[in-house]
Amino acid sequence: MNQPGDHGTDQSHSLAMADGHPLFVRDWPHARARDAVLIVHGLGEHSGRYQRLATWFHTRGYAVRAYDQRGHGRTAGRRGALPHRDDLLEDLATVYQDYAGRLPQPPLLLGHSMGGLVAARCVLDQRIQPPAMVLSSPALRTWEPIWKRYLATAMSKLAPNLPLPNGLPFDKLSHDPQVEPAYRADPLRHGWITPRLADFIFRAGDDSVRDASQLTVPTLLLVAGADRLVNPAGSRDFSSGTWASKYLTTRYFDSLYHELFNEAEPSRSQVLKQLGDWLQKRQGPV
């Protein structure tokens, strides 16, 4: 997630989805890439906030792709709106398959927050099968009360794309004092959610926790213990659901906030070290 002063060059283009809707895509190509990663952003934000993480991967020999999900960033359309409930899953599958077709080997997948939920559900549904996956503070469970969940279900049928404030506490994104004002000033972020999108998040989170034992992709789960944007209990339950599986590695950061890759130092470097160590074990020495 980029902050002022970050460097790195991306190449942007649009990619048409199955229904013809174009998504805004950023690529950070690498002339001597030893691997690649596709990054999926969270609710209300956009791929441009991942410039710094893309640079981190790039310096370690990775080509990188990220994209603005439907209803976000530079992708056209109503903010937070979905024509169909599974659009975000279909979109990820299309973007991933397009990227994989341009590479000598399929990319690993990294999803943050809502993007982590989309990544997990897409893999569990076997829409895509990346060689490995990283989930950062995935939105497997929210802090919303049960009555709001019932309301979202009802409203998803009556007024599915009614724009509503998402209510996320931006002051709990990170302990870094620069993150919140930069986020609020970002013209490409938005603070909206719609009933259909909310219902998707609630249902897909429950389904993913229920289906955790079916995980067959090597996965690193990074959990922010002091997360106030998503409920970390969802990640704990997901981890518990894979107890008999050799595929999941979980790392807890008890005192950290939601945006683990954007935390204050030295915490951010500690998170990235855990990621780097896991990647090196998966990939082998340089």
Averaged over successive runs of 10 residues, the pLDDT of the chain (286 residues) comes to: 47 96 97 95 98 97 98 96 96 98 97 98 98 98 95 96 96 98 98 97 98 97 98 97 89 98 98 97 66
Residue with tokens 């935390």: 263
AA letter at 17:
M
Structure confidence at residue 1 (pLDDT): 44
Structure confidence at residue 283 (pLDDT): 73
Strand 62-67 relative to strand 35-40, pairing = parallel
Give CA angle at 204 (132, 114), nearest 5°: 65
Structure confidence at residue 284 (pLDDT): 57
Where are the chain's structural domains? 11-283
Burial class (CB in 10 A: 0-12, 13-18, 19+), 191: middle
Structure confidence at residue 127 (pLDDT): 98
Count CB atoms within 10 A of the CB of residue 273: 11
- Please name the residues in contact with 257: beta carbons below 8 A apart, sequence gap of 6 or more: 172, 173, 174, 175, 224, 226, 227, 228, 263
| Residue 14, φ and ψ in degrees, nearest 5 | -110, 150
CA distances from 82 to 50, 70, 138, 272, 276 (A): 23, 7, 20, 33, 35
Comparing CA positions, the residue from 137, 94, 164 lying closest to residue 232 is: 137
Comparing CA positions, the residue from 232, 179, 176 lying closest to residue 209 is: 232
Examine residue 4 and say whether the peptide bond preceding it is cis (omega within 30 degrees of 0). Answer: no
Q: Between helices 195-210 and 146-158, what is the axis angle to 10°?
A: 120
- What is the per-residue DSSP string for 3-26? -TT-----EEEEEE-TTS-EEEEE
Structure confidence at residue 4 (pLDDT): 32
Count CB atoms within 10 A of the CB of residue 150: 11
AA letter at 213:
S
**Contact 226/256 with Cβ under 8 angstroms?**
yes
Residue 106, both tokens: 């399929």
| pTM to 2 decimal places | 0.95
Q: How far apart are CA 232 and CA 247, in angstroms?
A: 20
Query: What is the CATH number that goes with domain 11-283?
Result: 3.40.50.1820
Q: How far apart are CA 241 and CA 229, in angstroms?
A: 22
